[in-house]
Amino acid sequence: MDKAADLSKTAAFVALEDEVGAHNYHPLDVVIERAAGVWVWDVDGKKYLDCLAAYSAVNQGHCHPVIVEALVTQSRRVALTSRAFRNDQLGPFFQELKRLTGFDRVLPMNTGAEAVETAIKAARKWAYEVKGVPAGQAEILVFTGNFHGRTTMIVGFSSEEQYKRGFGPFAPGFTMLPYGDADAVEAAMNPNVAAVLVEPIQGEAGIVVPPDGYLKRLREITSRHDALLVVDEIQSGLGRTGKMWAYEHEDIRPDVVIMGKALSGGLYPVSAIVADNPIMDVFQPGDHGSTYGGNPVAAAVGLAALRVLVEERMIENSAQLGRYLLDRLRAVDSPHVAEVRGRGLWVGIELVPGAGGARRFCEALRDEGVLCKETHENVIRVAPPLVITREELDWALVRLERVLTA
């Protein structure tokens, strides 16, 4: 910091981070020091409306007081016991997730990627012990454009070459199919398929919404072929699309649901999978675990995060204001915009190839006081916390319209 004393606080922090941190991210140059609800403030005192919500981790808004209180109170009582012992917060957390999902059992982890790995383990073990797939031959169908995390196994079945370059060799057992094409899934089905792993809406791919009926078709196909339907709701779940879970838009029931991010309201790493007994019963003591997974703080925070989401009607707000957001953005007459798509408070603005990339638009929005982030070069994501009001959304929309038409 001393070398940059003549710079603004923002520039000094950017310089420090670039000097001593690994360059595995390319963030916008805004340095946030505090936040509340939908608003954040940088180290130079400028105020911004957050339209990313930490990739859906902050659905409940920044520093929600009820969740913060749960975090602080539990941290003062007991923070970690490991799963070698029980704690008094885990059971109630499980019970609430069971109530909200209708599934028999919960397996807690910490990060979304850990939960995805857990679901893959569950699907494979189920395939061998229940379905009768020959040892070592279980196959999982995945899709182009997927994003399920950053572990070496997960990036191995990504269609994004940068995610894989230099990190191989990768685990076998995954077959990639075009997203949104149910006929391709039907054609790929064979007795060794353990599961289909799918995002109900693809987030990192640019808020890609599949054709109507796609998930319903996947449910029918997997049921007929005795394979599991595993849905990754890490970004799409917990109210983001205007329903608790994005798969509810097609009135289906998957076999395994993966969740994370907003499961803690952005205050702590909490993730989980839920499934019924015939799947969860494949796990025996020693098969799988996590020192921090299901710790008392995580359980208390997760329980509070779930309750405020429901009690404060954030999901309904996402549905109502999401429709308004889509209508307003689709009405913008801009030569730069190719398509506006999304569901709930989760919208992707795809720019035409000649627009010069989404990053310059996100930088312009930052200067206007609105924080968005680009994905796949030509898509601007708009995903504010679900506590946003109509007035706050209008404030952001004025600036979005101004930048998109400049």
Express each pLDDT in 67-104 by its tens digit.
999 999 999 999 999 999 999 999 999 999 999 999 99
Per-residue model confidence as pLDDT tens digits over 53-74: 999 999 999 999 999 999 999 9
Instruction: Give the containing element (helix H, strand E) for 194.
Output: strand 193-198
Q: What is the DSSP secondary-structure string of 101-141? A: H--SEEEEESSHHHHHHHHHHHHHHHIIIII-PPTT--EEE
3-state secondary structure of 233: coil
Q: What is the mean pLDDT of residues 382-398?
A: 98
pLDDT at 8: 86
Q: Which two tokens stand for residue 362?
A: 């996100």
Question: Where exactly does CATH 3.40.640.10 map onto the chain?
Answer: 65-311
Q: Helices 296-311 & 65-77, crossing angle to 10 degrees?
A: 160
Per-residue model confidence as pLDDT tens digits over 151-176: 999 999 999 999 999 999 999 999 99
Which class is domain 65-311? alpha beta
Question: Where exactly does CATH 3.90.1150.10 map onto the chain?
Answer: 2-60+313-404
Residues labelled catalytic: 147, 232, 261
Whether pLDDT at 297 is above 80:
yes
Whether pLDDT at 5 is above 70:
no
Domain covering 2-60+313-404, topology? Aspartate Aminotransferase, domain 1 (3.90.1150)
pTM of structure: 0.96
Round to whole Å and give the CA distance between 47 and 92. Answer: 38
pLDDT at 4: 45
Round to whole Å and give the CA distance between 301 and 276. Answer: 24
pLDDT above 70 as % of the chain = 98
Whether pLDDT at 7 is above 80:
no
Per-residue model confidence as pLDDT tens digits over 248-293: 999 999 999 999 999 999 999 999 999 999 999 999 999 999 999 9
Q: Pick 381 or 7 by higher pLDDT.
A: 381
pLDDT above 90 as % of the chain = 98
Q: Which of 51, 145, 28, 38 is nearest to 381 (CA)?
A: 51
pLDDT at 1: 47
Q: What is the DSSP secondary-structure string of 269-314? A: --EEEEE-HHHHTT--TTSS--SSTT-HHHHHHHHHHHHHHHHTTH
Whether pLDDT at 2 is above 90:
no
